A and B are shown apart, each in its own frame.
Chain A
Amino acid sequence: MTDEILLETFNLHREYGDTVAVRDVSLSVPRGAVVALVGPNGAGKTTLLKMIAALLEPTEGTARVCGLDIREYPRQVHSKVGFLPDFYGLYDELKVQEYLEYFGRAYRLGPREREEVIDGALTQVDLAEKRDILIETLSRGMRQRLAIARTLIHNPPVLLLDEPAAGLDPEGRHELQFLFRRLAQAGKTLIVSSHILSELEDYCSHIAILDKGVLVASGPAEQVRQSSGKGRQIRIRTAGNAQELEAILRAADLVQRFSREEEGWLVSFSGDEEDMAILLKQMVSGGIQVTFFGEEKRTIQDTYLALLRPNRP
């Protein structure tokens, strides 16, 4: 990942009648980043992606993709992005190879180049053995991979993927994760919108959170996680002594809040590592049999919930 900004939006705004779908969104995405675009249903994720892909005209504002303004050069922007919508169709009457051949011709690739590109795309999405199969016979996961292969045909630097894991079984989602990692390693810049936040955890470098059309937070993943809540999250497991532990935690000044969960106690702590050590010492001195004490990294889900529902304990 570099510092070069490949994609930038400037107060992107889109209205449908009286409804504001996206409200003055400004964000920057550096080259090589994998951005997790998260938000509840109706947050404006699809509208935002479509505007960036120059499929939808913004009501106000603009964006630049690889230096091209989406308002002034929408057709040129299309050559820089590969867009996978959340709901899409394929030409079921064609075979896998024929489908990619069609798009290869549409992207004006020469015969030899087409052959190489199609072979490469099919290999990348693990569909090389299915090239002579009719699309209508493919499983949901294979259709998804074929649709992703289509986005790679013209070798775009930016991929915009709207809910790519929706409707896939766990194995399909797992395969997709590997594919996204491979694409990121190959130098592509990805923006992936998803509800399955835990799966984005492993490969995203940036997070953007939308709520009711407003960009609530965006930036490098660690930065966004830190900004979502003050202090650290400590996981504590004990062998009994629940009441005594609760009393210690209530008395501790640097404990902001705590809750008892299935995996143990989760404590929001505003101190540093030395303060953590003091707390542990207090617990042990108080007769608590501590079986586990460690800092827990905030997940995207924690960040998402903390920012969208700040009053949730």
Chain B
Amino acid sequence: MTSLTRFPDLYRYLRSEANPTRLIAGFVTTNLICLSSLAAMSQVKDPWGSLFRTVMGLQLILLLTYGVLRTTTSILQERSNRTWDFQRLTPLTSFEITFGKLLGAPIFAYFLFLVMMPWAVLATSYSTRTPWLALWQAYRLPLSLVFLCLNLGLLFSAHSLGNRQGRSAISFVTVAALWTGLPILISVIFGGIHGSNHWLAKETLSFYGLSVSVQRFATLSSLIFGGWAFAGARWRIGEDLLEGRRFWRFPAFLLFLAWYLFGIEGGAGLFKQPQPRPIITLGYVTFFVYVAAFLWGERTDYWRRWLRLTSSRMNNTPVWVAGYATLLAVAGLLLLIGPRSRVLVLLPVFCGRDLLFLQWCRFTRSQRAEMMAFIYLVLAYVLPPMLLAPFKLSALVCLYSPIPVGGAGGISLLQNLLPGLLEAGVMAGITFRRLRQTVT
């Protein structure tokens, strides 16, 4: 079976995106741009190095903008054009659909990337004695970041299938994260042809006692988390194809994330660990639990069906419940391993309160439950400090949110914990009462 047969989306995208006219126009235009760049740089000090940086910059910007846009809109478009149901009815598996979209949707971007490669090879051949090594060192980190971004786009697109309100609430965070990553990418690009001399290659950090260059670590991390993003997209698509949920998927990602973050023991220079590892670890795990809780919109009818199930109930556990259980487990483990921090106790309590509030919003008749919950939660964390500070009542913030640092004269752990526990308890009572009403 050829790839065109196994991944029919490749066939479709080849026919629509890679028709002869488009390919010829792209080929000619791209080569003209590279030729013009070479002509323009003929007077500079290092023309071939400059050409390489220009070509590589164009390639990566093309993949990061057009390529990521294509994966991000791949399933969004299927749904908005009402072609998604037809795909669901075919025997295509979630892997075939996801991989087909990863290969096929940005296919024109891949084509232009390859058209520019000979120029990059030419530039390195004139600039160094080890052109293939230089190419490998220059491209590995940027391409791994591209892989991560393409898969993040796919993950984002896959979540358009379910909860649109949650997607709206999270989308600006995603966009913000991608734009924050661009400066990093630009600095990587200008590492250019002398990849081994790039400042990222010189810095090191320690991962579970193993000293590794930041460049290599970032490359591996991008590939691994790109793989997780792909898996996440695939699993989400699989849910829509009724392939069945598995309760362990999201917890597995959270546990891996906790293991990964806890292992970064810091290094020298810029990568010296500024904060205790347990807090950073739990902070990121909590962040992803919030993200998942917003993205998966399990409303009244889902809970009704779940509670009436006679089999596979564990596999169909609402995602935020599985995620929160994992959060508690990670917090417990970090408390055992140490160094201990009050944040490890406070964060799970306040997070639990917020997640129960989100679920309660979903049990109401509101059409925009996630947006409502998102706004309320943001205001709940931002407004009290702003309102209480002029009256020198900032200490009362402990009633609403975790205070990470106590100390002499400050808010004690118990003073901060008790209100959180009370609020979480009240939210649990309200939410479960609402749940009982909706189920019966």
A binds B: yes
Q: Which residues of A contact B (CB under 8 A)?
A: 15-18, 53-55, 57, 59-60, 74-75, 78-79, 81, 83, 85, 87-91, 93-95, 98, 101-103, 105-108, 150
Q: Which 8 A-B pairs have the closest CB atoms?
A: A89-B81, A106-B90, A105-B8, A89-B82, A74-B242, A93-B16, A106-B8, A89-B83
Interface code B284-324, partner A: CB below 8 Å = 1, 0 otherwise? 00000000000000011100110010000000000000000
Among A88, A95, A102, A106, which residue has its beta carbon within 8 angstroms of that of B82? Answer: A88
Measured between beta carbons, the chain A residues less than 8 angstroms from B11 are 101-102, 105
Query: How many Å lie between the Cα of A79 and that of B301 in the bound state?
Result: 27
Question: Tally of A-B residue pairs with Cβ under 8 A?
Answer: 80
CB pair A55–B91 under 8 Å, yes or no, is no
Contact of B304 among A53, A55, A59, A106 (CB under 8 A): A59
A16 to B243, CA, bound (A): 22
B92 at the interface (CB under 8 A from A): yes
Q: Is the interface of B mostly helix, strand, loop or mixed?
A: helix
B229 vs chain A, min Cβ distance (A): 24
Residues of B close to A98: CB separation below 8 A: 12, 15
B365 within 8 A of A: yes
A108 / chain B contacts, CB cutoff of 8 Å? 5, 91
* A87 CA / B79 CA spacing, docked (Å): 12
In the bound assembly, the distance between CA atoms of A55 and B16 in angstroms comes to 27
Which residues from B are CB-within-8-Å of A81? Answer: 89
Q: Is the CB of A75 within 8 A of B91?
A: yes
* Cβ contact within 8 Å between B242 and A87: no
Question: Nearest-CB distance from A18 to chain B (Å)?
Answer: 7
Q: Check A75/B86 contact, CB under 8 A, given A102-B8, A106-B91.
A: no
Q: In whole angstroms, how far apart are the Cα atoms of A78 and B438 in the complex?
A: 32
| A85 CB contacts on chain B under 8 angstroms | 82, 85
A78–B88 touching, CB < 8 Å: yes
Cβ of A16 and Cβ of B242 under 8 Å apart?
no
Question: B242–A94 contact, CB under 8 A?
Answer: no
B365 near A18 (CB under 8 angstroms)? yes
How distant is B381 from chain A, measured CB to nearest CB, in Å?
29
Checking A17, A18, A57, A83 against B85 with a beta-carbon cut-off of 8 angstroms, the contacting residue is: A83
Give Cα distance in the complex from A59 to B301, angstroms: 7
Known: A75-B243, A89-B82, A108-B5. 10 other contacts (CB 8 A): A53-B89, A54-B242, A57-B305, A75-B242, A78-B91, A85-B82, A88-B85, A91-B16, A102-B12, A106-B90
A54 to chain B, nearest CB (A): 6
A95 to nearest B CB, angstroms? Answer: 8
A88's partner among B83, B243, B308 (CB-CB below 8 A) is B83
Show 27 A/B contacts (Cβ-Cβ < 8 Å), sorted by A.
A16-B301, A17-B299, A17-B301, A18-B365, A55-B85, A55-B88, A57-B242, A59-B304, A60-B305, A75-B91, A75-B241, A75-B243, A79-B91, A81-B89, A83-B85, A83-B89, A87-B82, A88-B83, A91-B12, A91-B83, A93-B16, A98-B15, A102-B8, A105-B5, A105-B8, A107-B90, A108-B91
